[in-house]
A and B are shown apart, each in its own frame.
Chain A
Amino acid sequence: LAKTTQPISMDSYEGQEVNITCSHNNIATNDYITWYQQFPSQGPRFIIQGYKTKVTNEVASLFIPADRKSSTLSLPRVSLSDTAVYYCLVGSYNQGGKLIFGQGTELSVKP
């Protein structure tokens, strides 16, 4: 199972773009990269998933370089409500869907 490394915490201000990078040096060929958001006392919420290059949805973008050994979650124009813990996970169906959570990044958005 690919191990992930993220910054423990990040601070930002409202309206700024926030980029959170995750390292996953031993990612396997079939692995996808998925990011989740978690608020206190709630289950994680799916944000975005990608395999290579760039993926964009209504809330975030995910940038994956060609070697796929890292990925960057980009949150445009954050607000106070984006204060949460963000987890980067790597896995594939070949592993039976078992995803191991790393430490996550605690994002604090200030006014």
Chain B
Amino acid sequence: GAVVSQHPSRVICKSGTSVKIECRSLDFQATTMFWYRQFPKQSLMLMATSNEGSKATYEQGVEKDKFLINHASLTLSTLTVTSAHPEDSSFYICSARDIGGQGEKLFFGSGTQLSVL
């Protein structure tokens, strides 16, 4: 199946700093990528849809100035958590849609555990 690579897998940062998370589709092109966050023992919550060459679409309640998304190429999307605070600590997961296949098949990265001190 298609492979989505996400880096870093774990990051610890100080409050007030910014953190960038990368999501790459390794063997397919992804015009659309999605960013989710997940708190312990909870389901994944969709944060935003990242579209190559255009602005991201954010879900209701997600601050676009807080979570900056850039999708500069067909294989790379980045999520930057700006001025991070302890409440931003969470598990962030990206996914990409393989348009070459049938149906609505998404492939997910391995996730990034963000801890803000």
On A, residues with C-beta under 8 Å from B are 31-32, 34, 36, 41-46, 49, 51, 87, 89, 91-93, 96-104
Majority secondary structure, A binding face: loop
Q: How many chain B residues touch the partner (CB < 8 A)?
A: 28
Chain B residue, CB-CB nearest to A92: B104
- Asked if residues B107 and A102 are in contact (CB atoms below 8 Å), the reply is no
A-B contact count (CB 8 A): 70
On B, residues with C-beta under 8 Å from A are 1, 4, 6, 32, 34, 36, 43-46, 49, 91, 93-95, 97, 99, 102-111, 113
In the complex the two chains form, what is the Cα distance from A43 to B6 in whole Å? Answer: 10
In the complex the two chains form, what is the Cα distance from A43 to B7 in whole Å? Answer: 12
- Asked if residues A98 and B43 are in contact (CB atoms below 8 Å), the reply is no
Q: What's the nearest-Cβ distance from chain B to residue A106, in Å?
A: 9
- Asked if residues A97 and B97 are in contact (CB atoms below 8 Å), the reply is yes
